[in-house]
Amino acid sequence: MKAKQLLVIILASLMVACLATSALAADKDTTANMAQQANNPIANMISVPFQYNGNFNIGPYDRDQHVLTIQPVIPFELNKDWLLVTRWVLPILYQPDVLADSGGTSGIGDLNPAFSFRPRRS
């Protein structure tokens, strides 16, 4: 098994475990509060946004490039006062052979983690 495939499996397992734990411990927030937290990039909630970018008509054969970026945000409680908010950026892409009318390469791009500390109370 390649290292990137193993990394994806580990990351996916970690996200599923965090989602299950968060779902069990979720409190009864109102819809307005949830909407406000969804717009806050360092809120105390797990979010998994996806972003798709398509680049069209590349090269002399007008090939298309596709990039799906997965950006999970996962907070961890360090203690009663502090959270560690992690954000991972994982691109999954298809790059066509620009000098041929068929074929290409697909794979996983560089995993870019970002970590920030946040007080639990504003």
Would you say residue 94 has pLDDT above 90? yes
Would you say residue 7 has pLDDT above 70? no
Q: How many Å is the Cα radius of gyration of the chain?
A: 19
What is the per-residue pLDDT for 118? 86
How far apart are alpha carbons 90 and 109 in whole angstroms?
7
Would you say residue 14 has pLDDT above 90? no
**Residues facing 54 on adjacent strands:** 66
| 106-121: pLDDT as tens digits | 999 999 999 999 887 7
Q: How much of the chain, in percent, has pLDDT values that exceed 90?
A: 45
What is the per-residue pLDDT for 26? 52
Say which residue, 18 or 78, is predicted with more confidence: 78
Measured between alpha carbons, how far is residue 71 from residues 4, 41, 117 in Å?
Answer: 17, 11, 18
What is the per-residue pLDDT for 28? 53
The DSSP 8-state label assigned to residue 1 in this structure reads -
Find the helix or strand (DSSP H, E) in which 72 lies.
none
Would you say residue 33 has pLDDT above 70? yes
How far apart are alpha carbons 94 and 102 in whole angstroms?
12
| Cα–Cα–Cα angle for 98, 102, 107, rounded to 5 degrees | 70
Say which residue, 50 or 43, is predicted with more confidence: 50
